[in-house]
Structure 1
Amino acid sequence: MKRLSAEKRVELLQRKFGIEASVEQKVVALAGNPNTGKSTVFNALTGLNQHTGNWPGKTVGNAQGTFMHKGQPFLLVDLPGTYSLLPNSVDEQVARDFICFGRPDVTLVVVDATALERNLNLALQVMEMTDQVVLCVNLMDEAKRKGITVDIEGLAQKLGVPVVATAARQRQGLSELKDRLFDVAAGKVVPSPLVLRYDEEVEQAICELEVQLAPLLKGTMKARWVALRLLDGDSTLLEDIEKYMADAELPKHTLGREVSPSWPQA
């Protein structure tokens, strides 16, 4: 996706999300299901360098922290724990909006090594939104106790993104995790996430919508993901595009006016 300049991104984060960042910082969004050890990962990476508050206009908590790695400052934004990014709750909408419109340099998705099948649903949704993803398979100590083995290398090859095994409570794997965050944020590693394919009718509808959406979005978002959300009847997306982007990057009401209302229904 097209990236904002550092100055514009800092302004966007402050004005739209109430987050104070510097132009030097790489911004990492921290996502994950509840009970995956996400907060432990956050605390382990940031230590005492934290700030808490609420998201603007929401009663949902907002935690931010900083850390340095290889001379690069990072700002880690802890998103609400959610099971999906479909905006059926305030928590889900906050998480979706920050990943989509906050333009993080990397989205770090934490999953529970003992419940990968359930947790990977969120990871796959994030990967539909952005390529800049690192997967943290946490609670490896719990998995070992339960006799569960996770093929980290095989998972990385299948998903097309860096995957790191951690046991954050024991501070295991954190150095490698920081390395992978640095590599993706600096462009040294370019993830190529797995693209989920649907049945023929849905894929045809996605293709037809992508053709209309791509020139309107101008690289600001993945046209395929926006097409999926429109086909899914996500009525909040167009409103949020105007809220977060129209004033700076897209003509107002662009999508609502120019995307045909008669697209194929899945």
Structure 2
Amino acid sequence: MRVVVTPPGRTVLLTGAAGGLGRVLAARFTDGGDRVVAVDRDAAALADLASQVDVVPVVADVSSRDDVERAVAEAGRVDVMVNNAAVVDRLGAAHEVDPDEWDLLVAVNLTAPYLFCHAVLPAMIKRGAGTIVNVASITGLRGGRAGAAYTASKHGLVGLTINIAATTGHLGIRSNAVCPGSIDTGMQALGEVFDSGRETLARDRRKPPPVAPGLIADVVTFLASDAAAGINGVALPADSGTLAF
């Protein structure tokens, strides 16, 4: 059996680093010997992360072009881009979603990953190597698990992921998405903890419970590793079987 070991010393640019999943990812990558540039808009939470994990903290709004460019410049060389920052909606259907809510969801969940990929890809292509892992959702693979804004933004992120693989794979770039189901974190929904949606999704007791962040981090770090060198353009569910229902 061939064992693939990913060399340490990569630079990982990680968004949403101060959240539940982001903190686990930051620790996983640094434990593996990588330099992690941790991006988050919450300065206090990011400072707390930096006090516990050896990261380069960058306070930034991922939906701001200027902030994205500043974060990428701070990182310097980027070997692995992990787009993890996200917000969720209030489960509103298309005719119920406020346009401002729609704009925010699309800006953070779709435009921000595009901006980061747009910024890091030229240097990756020039080197002939680079890895992108986007944290999408099983909502991006179906139509009825969340509101219209979140669903559309995650479908868009899956499409962006696959398109990058199709257009840059021959240039040495790998682009994949992880599609979790419910994750047991405190993801913020427009500034409020998203509890009502969690209760809605938990009504059918046959469905699997929320997945621990560590299990999602396992999938992300695998896709970012050399062990996944043959995987490109995949939107991989990590949902404990939720899609089966």
Report the TM-score range of the alignment, normalised by the length of the smaller protein: 0.3 to 0.5
In our comparison, the structure showing a higher alpha carbon Rg is: 1
Q: TM-score, normalised by structure 1?
A: 0.36
